[in-house]
Amino acid sequence: MTFRASVERYLGAVAQQYHRGDAREESYYDVLKQLWEELGSQLSSAHATLTVLPRQTEAGNPDMRVWSGQQHVTGYIEAKEPGVTNLDHVEVSEQLKRYRAAFPNVILTNFLEFRLYRFGQPMGQPVTIGSLQALQAGIKVPFQHEDQFRDLVERFFDFQLPKEYTAQTLAVALADRTRFLQRQVLDQLVEDEQQNSSSDLVSLMREFKQVLMSDLTSDTFADLYAQTITYGLFAARMRVTGTFTRETALNGIPATIGILRKLFKYISIGDTPERLRVIIDDIADVLAVADTDTVFKGYDKNGRDPVADFYETFLGEYDPAKKKQHGVYYTPQPVVSYIVRSVDQILHDSFGKPDGLADPSVTVLDPAAGTMTFPATAVRLAAETYKAKYGDGSLDSWIKGHVLRDFYAFELMMAPYAIGHLRMGTLLTELGYTMSSDDRFKLYLTNTLDVSTAEQNPIPGLSPLADESHMAEAVKTTQPVLVIMGNPPYSGVSTNKGAWIMNLLNDYKQVDGKPLGERKTWLDDDYVKFIRFAQWKIDQAGEGVLGFITNHSYLDNPTFRGMRQSLMASFDQLHILNLHGNSLRKEQCPDGSKDENVFDIRQGVAIVVAVKCNGVPKGIWYGDLWGKRDAKYRVLGNEQMTQTAWQELKPRGDMYLFVPQDATLAPEYEQWPKVTEIFPVSVVGIVTARDKLTIQFTPEQVWQTVNRFISISPEEAREAFHLGKDTASWQVQLAQEDIRRSGLSQDRVVPILYRPFDVRYTYYTGHSRGFLCRPHPEVMQNMLAGSNSAIITSRMTKGETFHHVQVTNHIVEVICMSPKTSNNGFVFPLYLYDSVKGSTDIFVETRDRVAHRKPNIEAHFMSQLTECFGSIASPENIFAYVYAVLESAAYARRYVEFLKTDFPRIPLIRDRDTFLALADLGQQLIDLHLMRSSELDNPISRFCGKGDGAVKKVEYDADRGRVSINPTQYFDGVTPDLWTYQIGGYQVLAKWLKDRKGRFLTAPDTQHYSRIVTALSRTILVRGQIDQAFQSPDIGDAHVQR
């Protein structure tokens, strides 16, 4: 039959189905199948077969799949009813977008119009072969556009998957299909669960949830399943010779990998749902034609496993966010080599193991094995040692009796678990060892940070999972391990919150036996938890070696000082090689040249090798490795620990820094200007001399107090207000006369910052030895003359840790910062108003006050900053920058000795962006602390419980995060770090409430307290950002001369 005859017969059959009246889309499938198979035979050398795919959901697979005679997928067809005339709408639907993204050769048709898409893009114009109007009119449908349709069909059948994939293009092809498979698995799960089905897929997910990940969701399982299938097929493709299909992939899975082999039996010969088989076949088809030699041409195979290496590329295409979330980064071989050879040397030198890792008494664990780079390197080195000393005659016996018995590894992600097993099997084959049916490497699928006992729960097709979990738990809890090494994941937002590991982590949340007293977010990073696990495991054994490469933040970040102290207590020796590469800190080499990370990440890293062994010299040693990546690789690849240049550290409390620190920082610190040199006009806070008289909670109370105070005699006032005896600086009669002389006026009732976040009211005349003892009008009137702000800090911090900084737009009471008089608060206003010069009365009306003010910033200092930074060096930005620096915990701890004895000095910078970043963060804090930030509109704390608001007894319940004021009422949402938050000498939240004991909180009071809690919560986060910015090398370049 000719091409034209086939199409005309097809159009007649479509018309016949259409006029039956009850035809649905599926009614036309057989007609299209016959046409397509005929045209395939006519236009291509291969015999085409069209398979109708199961229609389970609208968003499932395309309707039809076309196979070539070589059993390769040619393409897919998605069909719509002939009455659907507007395929433009279908083309942009989510369904078609997914098909076009996943499949490279797709046709969309309504049986009269055909559209071809190649790699998601339209190929030519749509082709209409018959008129819908003719079909609807019941007349013969003439064949139209024969040449165009022939061209479209030929293009469809001519499609072949490329054989010469690059690593990148193959990763994209597999990633597209894996995302589609993930969606299909999720849809199948939803359908099975809606039907209350106990399908193999549902049962598999339930067992994973019970045995491996208790918080496993359907989305996560679908992702896990899809990745495992794709990468299992990829790894199998590397081992299968001859025809490669979904069915033959099972031959590439070693019998010893029980979990993976069972899974592949399920997809190869089991009752896998058709919707999954379709896309799995397509993935297998891509792999079948791929030339793996071409794929791996771009990889350096010197010590690097191409299958494992490619996984990084694949995951980066499939889900970059997930790669980051799990901290999945291939550990460079030189880094692995340095750690493994260093550990091997330590075993020889310190533990009396002349064969190092080859010694049969040595047990090894990688708790975050990934694709098994560390175990593979360790086994290879141990085998080389054994053969060099004893020959290869008994190597098989040594492998079976040591490597397969004493080397352990844990991995949580299924895809790298599969890769790891295949990798180790390949390595042992290279070493000449043939694995028997009962051999396996002890790589277990488990969550290292979750120590619990899983109950056996056999599931058809995957019962080994529970067995494997039990074996992993035994290694975690009872098996002594001498060596623990690896590259644990870096995940600042950790999902590992199990009670067991969080309880262990509590040891890191204290220093010198006391709580850290700060937010401990960064301690929740997964790498910290893995270090804690390894430390615990070695402590259990009583001896051991830890070799990790991790984020290097724990070396000097204040939050980790408890961790550092704990590690010092556990290990006899710590060797820390800081590899730097922290682009977040803009790290540069000491000579100013570029410093690069050994990974493709921004966070700097460090190697730690820790030894717990009786009889070794105790100490902590530190080394730096700066420079370009290749230079670092050369050093790491050719040296081990004994060849590194070390500097011994003597960490001092309470920071216990794991980085070198000068004994004195005076030359650095003293080059910067004091805050008094930046803001030349300042004064200590107001001394009232009689708080109970002069300070009230409301303006009304102040007004009532002063009216009564001046209406009675001095002695009556003394008794009525419990004023005690007069002093030289404050006398009852002088106080009364001050009010009368100034003219009694409600305008003089003004707010005053009394304690942190505690604004009260006073009566301000500005006269010394009057109603207020020392009102300091020369400065304070600038706070009343117009819009203004002031930084408050202390000249000394005797007996207290420096966090002596506040901001206000009110006048300030002297001990707002600390009850210790030595630590009084000093006020540094931003602006000075001309209207207050020579006047003690700021309540005189003036016009355009803003125009009559000037910055309280030293003129030369201001001009130099303006010269450096231009207009961005505004008074407000300078003020905010200073505030940010003073709020920095890193600054406070670094210069703690100097802050005890004098006004703070302010580091200066040369970098415009850093200046702006710190000014912005400082302004965020200013807005929070002045209670004007929009972030306070949704408080994190509520006032709960029925009652009268009486503050009877303030108690904190850390377990429930509650601050109670009486038996029935409390504030919730108060975490321990908020409750213990200090400003100066005050524990803010406790102080505010305890100062109101015996009072009844009003609605505005409770709302204000909730906003304080919120402000502190946000403050902790912003201070953390300031600390990161403060560690920039740009800070401290004193280019501005005092």
Residue 200 has pLDDT above 70, yes or no: yes
The 3 state secondary structure assigned to 712-737 is: CCHHHHHHHCCCCCCCCCCCHHHHHH
Residue with more model confidence, 292 or 441:
441
> What is the predicted pLDDT for the residue at 559?
79
Question: Rounded distance, CA 273 to CA 54, Å?
Answer: 9
User: What domains are there in the chain, each with its CATH number?
Assistant: 3-158 (3.90.1570), 162-482 (no CATH), 487-566+575-583+605-613+620-661 (no CATH), 675-907 (no CATH), 934-1030 (no CATH)
Question: Rounded distance, CA 383 to CA 432, Å?
Answer: 11
Comparing 37-51, 417-431, 468-482, the range with the smallest average pLDDT is 37-51
Question: Rounded distance, CA 59 to CA 307, Å?
Answer: 33
640, 377 in Cβ contact below 8 A? no
> What is the predicted pLDDT for the residue at 406?
98
Question: Rounded distance, CA 1016 to CA 1024, Å?
Answer: 12
409, 220 in Cβ contact below 8 A? no
Residue 324 has pLDDT above 80, yes or no: no
Burial zone of 608 (CB within 10 Å; 0-12 exposed, 13-18 middle, 19+ buried):
buried
Residue 157 has pLDDT above 80, yes or no: yes
pLDDT digits (tens, 9 = 90+) for 736-746: 999 999 999 99
Angle between helices 333-350 and 373-390 (to 10 degrees): 50
Question: Rounded distance, CA 722 to CA 733, Å?
Answer: 14
pLDDT digits (tens, 9 = 90+) for 271-306: 678 778 878 888 888 888 888 777 766 555 545 667
Question: Rounded distance, CA 246 to CA 267, Å?
Answer: 7
Dihedral sign, Cα of residue 330, residue 331, residue 337, residue 340: negative
Question: Rounded distance, CA 775 to CA 730, Å?
Answer: 12
pLDDT digits (tens, 9 = 90+) for 574-592: 999 999 998 866 788 999 9
Q: How confident is the model at residue 659 (pLDDT cuts 50, 70, 90)?
A: confident
Q: Give percent helix, percent strand, percent coil of the chain, each to the nearest 5.
A: 45, 15, 40
Comparing 47-56, 115-124, 177-186, the range with the smallest average pLDDT is 47-56
For residue 399, the 8-state DSSP code is: I
In Å, how far from its chain's centre is CA 751? 42
Question: Rounded distance, CA 192 to CA 185, Å?
Answer: 10
924, 1022 in Cβ contact below 8 A? yes
Question: Rounded distance, CA 956 to CA 962, Å?
Answer: 6
790-794: strand order across its sheet: 683-684, 825-829, 790-794, 805-808
> What is the predicted pLDDT for the residue at 55?
61
Percentage above 70 pLDDT, the chain: 90
Question: Rounded distance, CA 726 to CA 748, Å?
Answer: 24
**CA-wise closest residue to 228 among 197, 202, 266, 200:** 266
> What is the predicted pLDDT for the residue at 456?
41
* DSSP letters spanning 848-883: -TGGGEEE-S-HHHHHHHHHHHGGG--HHHHHHHHH
Question: Tokens 């001394």 label which residue?
Answer: 687
Non-local CB neighbours of 140 within 8 Å, separated by 6+ positions: 12, 15, 134
> What is the predicted pLDDT for the residue at 462?
44
Q: How confident is the model at residue 661 (pLDDT cuts 50, 70, 90)?
A: low
Mean pLDDT of the chain: 87
768, 774 in Cβ contact below 8 A? yes
What does the radius of gyration of the chain's CA atoms come to, in whole angstroms? 37
Residue 452 has pLDDT above 70, yes or no: no
Question: Rounded distance, CA 571 to CA 948, Å?
Answer: 56
**CA-wise closest residue to 919 among 1021, 1005, 1025:** 1025
Comparing 361-365, 747-751, 865-869, the range with the smallest average pLDDT is 865-869
Question: Rounded distance, CA 655 to CA 889, Å?
Answer: 12
Question: Tokens 């009343």 label which residue?
Answer: 784
Widest CA span of the chain, in angstroms? Answer: 125
Burial zone of 601 (CB within 10 Å; 0-12 exposed, 13-18 middle, 19+ buried):
middle
Q: How many helices (H) and strands (E) does the chain have?
A: 39, 33
> What is the predicted pLDDT for the residue at 843?
53
> Between β-strands 442-445 and 407-411, what pairing exists: parallel, antiparallel or unpaired?
parallel
pLDDT digits (tens, 9 = 90+) for 666-708: 788 888 999 999 999 999 999 999 999 999 999 999 999 999 9
pTM: 0.60
In terms of DSSP H, where are the helices of 138-199? 146-158, 167-194
Q: What's the CA angle centered on 934, arms 929 and 937, to 5 degrees?
A: 95
> What is the predicted pLDDT for the residue at 329?
61
pLDDT digits (tens, 9 = 90+) for 336-394: 999 999 999 999 999 999 999 999 999 999 999 988 999 999 999 999 999 999 999 99
838 phi/psi in degrees, rounded to 5: 65, 10
Joined tokens for residue 826: 């000093």
> What is the predicted pLDDT for the residue at 616?
96
**CA-wise closest residue to 91 among 81, 83, 103, 99:** 99
Residue with more model confidence, 520 or 786:
786
Question: Rounded distance, CA 973 to CA 894, Å?
Answer: 32
Question: Tokens 């804690």 label which residue?
Answer: 532
Please state, in angstroms and as integers, the Cα–Cα distance from residue 500 to each residue in 485, 497, 530, following that order.
21, 8, 12
3-state secondary structure of 79: strand
> What is the predicted pLDDT for the residue at 838?
46
Residue with more model confidence, 171 or 844:
171
**CA-wise closest residue to 210 among 225, 221, 198:** 221
Burial zone of 320 (CB within 10 Å; 0-12 exposed, 13-18 middle, 19+ buried):
exposed
Question: Rounded distance, CA 351 to CA 175, Å?
Answer: 47
> What is the predicted pLDDT for the residue at 782?
96
Comparing 94-98, 412-416, 836-840, 922-926, the range with the smallest average pLDDT is 836-840
Comparing 75-84, 320-329, 462-471, the range with the smallest average pLDDT is 320-329
> What is the predicted pLDDT for the residue at 312?
78
How many CA within 13 A on the CB side of residue 278? 29
Question: Rounded distance, CA 584 to CA 605, Å?
Answer: 12
